[in-house]
Amino acid sequence: MSMSETSLVRARNVHKAFGPLEVLKGIDLDVAPGEVVVILGPSGSGKSTFLRCINHLEAIDQGFIEVDGEQIGYRLRDDRLIKLSNSDIAVQRSKIGMVFQQFNLYPHMTALQNVIEAPIGVHGQNRNEAVRYAKELLNRVGLAEKIDAYPRQLSGGQQQRVAIARALAIRPRLMLFDEPTSALDPELVGEVLATMRDLAKEGLTMIVVTHEIGFAKEAADRVVFMDGGVVVEQGPPAEVLTNPSHPRTRSFLSRFI
Amino acid sequence: MSGSASIQTDDRLRDVKLAHVPFPVTRLALWIFTLAVALGFAYIVAINPNFGWPVVAQYLFDPTVMQGLWVTLGLTVVAMIIGVVLGLILAIARMSNDRLASSLASLFIWFFRGTPLLVQLIFWYNMSTLFPRISIGIASWDTNDLITPLTAAIVGLALNEAAYMAEIIRGGLLSVDKGQAETAEAFGMNRARALWRIIIPQAMKSIVPPTGNQLISMIKATSLVSVIAMADLLYSVQSIYNRTFEIIPMLLVAVLWYLFITSILNVGQGAIERYYNRGDRGSTPADRTKEYATPMVGAAHEHV
Ligand SMILES: Nc1ncnc2c1ncn2[C@@H]1O[C@H](COP(=O)(O)OP(=O)(O)O)[C@@H](O)[C@H]1O
Ligand SMILES: [Mg+2]
């Protein structure tokens, strides 16, 4: 078995442009099951766009992305590549959890309702089972006593932890985090990172876009540095963060010391 | 007098816990004045024989008036329901990426908002002179059998309402943060479910108040159907004063009923608004009154 066949995520030569603006210029990335990959890079380098391509919130222009052996957005049949229907794409998305910078909780629903919405509505889970699992997850992120609170009644850090529980509730094979702590007050960053570190330890496959170098050092199996729509360098955190080989990585990291 | 002791007593006296609220003399005077004017006006109206209050009392629950009232209510409810459903479809069509759907919706809204309701009603009522027979495929009907005063009234009111509701609903849908639709999409929800579970409930906050407005104007707009011989509330009081010549008292009967229905609707609208504001903190009417009552205004205004 080759290395690529054991990967959970395979991205090959991914290109994406918005009109004349080329945002992704050929991204190759493999993520093994259980691996935690942290993507670093300056603002505007295409990190969010790449994450959004992985669950097809953006369609890519060239190359392909595969998650768990299934090509995202397309199916190969008799050597012909066919675009999937919206409902098939929805099924693919429903196996990938996503956590947003702005939390994006449903403000008209309580924490518990936020968490059970997709399991019941998309995965057809029975309500009692969904509620039981949602309570377990909210307990795990330390919000057992907040299940009936509406998002506005929660602090930013609590909201983001609800959002993490909501993403976990669909039992995802892959979790995508897009700058999960960037919208938080500094004193609230720690609690969210702690939750994410626990998930990493439990073996969840995660791709995390963040500016938290400390989190990358401790929790990442691999750090990927992106700039200008390409992967500039990648490797174990100890290597990339302490002894970067590329001058652009070096100048980016120098801002955090 | 610069002793530090005197400064300290001063500071103790400044503790807001000890504050007295001055008696609101001006406000009280305004209240009394307003009440006096209102009562005086009510008294003048009540004792004025030209208003014919005994006649009003006599006809308030008259069977003809009651029947007219039910027609008005029925027309309002049916036309409003069709108008809201059709308006939702139009709003979604207008916002869709499909050029054909959005153009057709725009055309509909343009036409039905751009022409007077009275003219639309008369057109519907006289449809048979334009199209004597209506056929769909092999089925065919005599237009006069389909378009009675009732169906003309319902179709006319509902289509007109749909055009206005479409714009109200579209505005509401646009007011919802785009991240919400994207999140629903990212979790694998289909469009219909995302709309129904995530977007519409949040849009309701800005849809309900103007819809209440529409409903109240609709109740009064139904009085236009009297021109196509529908016996609504206004038509029924007119039919009575055409016999008795008690024009003012009979119009007062209609006015009292219109005001009564409107008041009930206001109460209902308040309850619905509170329901759709449930995710907000500090936005319930109870909190609003508290802002006047306590000096802790700052806490209620702490927005995120
Ligand atoms: N929907 C879009 N339309 C046009 N330009 C976009 C869109 N999304 C992102 N971009 C542009 O793509 C570039 C990369 O954005 P993004 O992926 O958000 O970068 P990052 O997350 O690394 O900061 C930016 O210049 C941004 O303005
Ligand atoms: Mg970004």
SS3 A244: coil
Q: Name the residue with the closest Cα to ligand 1, atom 2.
A: A18
Return the CATH number at B154: 1.10.3720.10
Is B259 within the bounds of a domain? Answer: no
A198-202, B9-13, B185-189: lowest mean pLDDT where?
A: B9-13
Q: Comparing C-alpha atoms, which of B130, B127, B82, B87 is closest to residue B108?
A: B87
Torsion of CA A95, A99, A103, A107, to 10 degrees: 10
- pLDDT recorded at residue B4: 60
User: Into how many domains does chain B fold?
Assistant: 1
Residue among A57, A92, A104 with most chain B CBs within 10 A, to mutate: A104
- Look up residue B296 and give its DSSP letter: -
**Euclidean distance between CA atoms B162 and A95, whole angstroms:** 39
Find where tokens 């199996």 sit. A221
Q: Which helix (H) or strand (E) holds B35?
A: helix B25-47
Is B168 within the bounds of a domain? Answer: yes
- Write the residue in A104, A121, A150 that is nearest to B193 by C-beta: A121
Is A138 within the bounds of a domain? Answer: yes
Is A92 within the bounds of a domain? Answer: no
pLDDT-based confidence at residue B132 (cuts at 50, 70, 90):
confident
Cross-chain Cβ contact B190/A102 below 8 Å? no
Q: What is the ipTM of this complex?
A: 0.91
Please state, as a whole number, how many other Cβ atoms lie within 10 Å of the Cβ of residue B25.
8
SS3 B160: helix
Is A144 within the bounds of a domain? Answer: yes
**Euclidean distance between CA atoms B148 and B135, whole angstroms:** 17
pLDDT-based confidence at residue B14 (cuts at 50, 70, 90):
confident
Domain span at residue A137? Answer: 103-172
Phi/psi for A71 (5° steps) reads -75, 130
pLDDT-based confidence at residue B6 (cuts at 50, 70, 90):
low
**Euclidean distance between CA atoms B147 and B233, whole angstroms:** 21
Torsion of CA B242, B244, B249, B252, to 10 degrees: -30
Tell me the average pLDDT of chain B: 87
Query: Has residue B21 got a pLDDT over 90?
Result: no
Mutate to test the pocket of ligand 1, among A38, A49, A50 (most ligand atoms within 8 A of CB): A49
Q: Name the residue with the closest Cα to ligand 1, atom 24.
A: A44
Is B288 within the bounds of a domain? Answer: no
Is B238 within the bounds of a domain? Answer: no
Contact criterion met (CB below 8 Å) for A237 and A38: yes
pTM for this one?
A: 0.83
Mind listing the pLDDT tens digit for each residue in B193-206? 999 999 999 999 99
Is B192 within the bounds of a domain? Answer: yes
Which residues contact ligand 1 via a Cβ below 6 A? A 18, 21, 23, 41, 43-49
Amino acid in the structure at residue A180? P
Gap from B70 CA to chain A (nearest CA, Å): 37
Contact criterion met (CB below 8 Å) for A94 and B187: yes
Strand order of the β-sheet with A96-99 is A96-99, A174-178, A206-209, A36-40, A222-227, A230-235
Mind listing the pLDDT tens digit for each residue in B280-304? 754 444 433 333 333 333 333 333 3
Mutate to test the pocket of ligand 1, among A14, A23, A24 (most ligand atoms within 8 A of CB): A23
Q: Which of residues 195-214 of B touch A (CB under 8 A)?
A: 197-198, 201-202
Q: Name the residue with the closest Cα to ligand 1, atom 25.
A: A44
**What is the bridge-based pairing of β-strands A36-40 and A174-178?**
unpaired
Mutate to test the pocket of ligand 1, among A14, A16, A18 (most ligand atoms within 8 A of CB): A18
Tell me the average pLDDT of chain A: 94
Gap from A41 CA to chain B (nearest CA, Å): 23
Query: Has residue B9 got a pLDDT over 80?
Result: no
Residue among B97, B183, B273 with most chain A CBs within 10 A, to mutate: B183
Q: Which pair of structure tokens corresponds to residue A251?
A: 């100048």
User: Into how many domains does chain A fold?
Assistant: 1
Give the ligand with the smallest distance to the CA of A24.
1
- pLDDT recorded at residue B285: 41
Domain span at residue B223? Answer: 73-230
A210-224, B27-41, B62-76, B223-237: lowest mean pLDDT where?
A: B223-237
Q: Which pair of structure tokens corresponds to residue A57?
A: 């919130």
The residues facing A36 across adjacent strands are A206
Gap from B272 CA to chain A (nearest CA, Å): 14
A1-5, B127-131, B207-211: lowest mean pLDDT where?
A: A1-5
Alpha carbon A212 to chain centroid distance?
15
Amino acid in the structure at residue B213? N
- pLDDT recorded at residue B230: 86
Amino acid in the structure at residue A169? A
Is A167 within the bounds of a domain? Answer: yes
User: Each residue of A193-221: b (16+ CB within 10 Å) or e?
Assistant: bebbeebbeeebbbbbbbbbbebbeebbb
Amino acid in the structure at residue A127? R
Is B115 within the bounds of a domain? Answer: yes
